[in-house]
Structure 1
Amino acid sequence: MAAEPTAPPAGLPRALARRVGRQVPAALRRYRVMAWVVGVLLIALVLVAVPVKYLGGPDEPVALIGTAHGWLYAIFFLTACDLAVRARWTLKGAILVILAGTVPILSFVAERIATRKTRAGERV
């Protein structure tokens, strides 16, 4: 299923508006992938690895998943910032979306809202 092109923000010069419109769908796709990856890893860390560790299990899953989540969150941060700049999000919206990657399950909600609004051409 192809992503719908995002309407360029009003008030932009025509050449810049065309560039923004072409760049936003790819940035949105990268952001959505990273939001899901970070969300799944955070759920695995908080709901599986940490309880196993504190119930007397091995420490390795926490170290492995926690490290992976940390590095991938850095990539998520960059992709969210990239999308925020390209789609001209508000600073408040960008910060809230970025922070959503640190709360289990909230990254999925924020991703859905950001996707809907960005595809509609609205500012997050």
Structure 2
Amino acid sequence: MTETTSTTTGTPVEKVRPALLRYRVLAWITGLWLLLLVAELILKYGFGVDALDFVPIVHGWVYFVYLIVTIDLAIKVRWPLGKIVVTAIAGTIPFLSFYFEHIRTKEVKAQYRL
């Protein structure tokens, strides 16, 4: 069986596991919407096509939810401020949210033996 709390943070694993899942899902959704936003910007400014005008608004709201779940996870696992900021910014740079999701998941799973 796994430990019920982390030895470094004291946070119960039962609270970290769902927070990590929420973070992982939102990191992927944010990354996908960001790639769609890049495609929309290329279509709009490169070819003059305004077919995907809703994408910036949706990505903005998805990114906002990503920030909330990132901060929720960060508080539970007690990340330092720099790690929180870099992880939050990862949702604004194409492909970086996928990379950071992988790295942060690996770190949290190792820390909590998930």
TM-score (norm 2): 0.87
What pairs with 1:1-124 in structure 2 (closer than 5 Å)?
8-10=6-8, 12=10, 17=11, 20-46=12-38, 48-61=39-52, 63-121=53-111
| Cα offset, 1:7, TM superposition | 5.8
What amino acid does structure 1 have at the position aligned with 2:15? Q
Provide structure 2 residue ranges, at least 5 long, that are not aligned to the other structure. none
In the TM superposition, residue 33 of structure 1 has moved relative to its aligned partner by 0.4
Q: Provide the secondary structure at the position in 2 that maps to 1:89.
A: coil
The alpha carbon displacement at 1:60 in A equals: 3.9
**CA apart distance, 1:90:** 1.3
Match of 1:108, SS state, is helix
Q: Which has the higher contact order (CA 8 A, sep 6+)?
A: 2
Q: Percent identity?
A: 35
1:87 deviation in Å? 1.1
Answer whether contact 1:7 1:121 (CA < 8 A) is retained: no
Computed over aligned residues only, the root mean square deviation of the Cα atoms, in angstroms, reads 2.1
In structure 2, give the amino acid aligned to 1:39: G
Q: Cα offset for 1:21?
A: 1.5
Contact 1:77–1:98 (8 Å) recurs in 2: yes
Question: What TM-score do the two structures reach when normalised by structure 1?
Answer: 0.81
Amino acid of the residue matched to residue 53 of structure 1?
A: K
Q: Aligned pair in 2 of structure 1 residues 34, 5: CA closer, same or farther (>3 Å)? A: farther
In 1, Cα distance between the equivalents of 2:3 and 2:98? 22
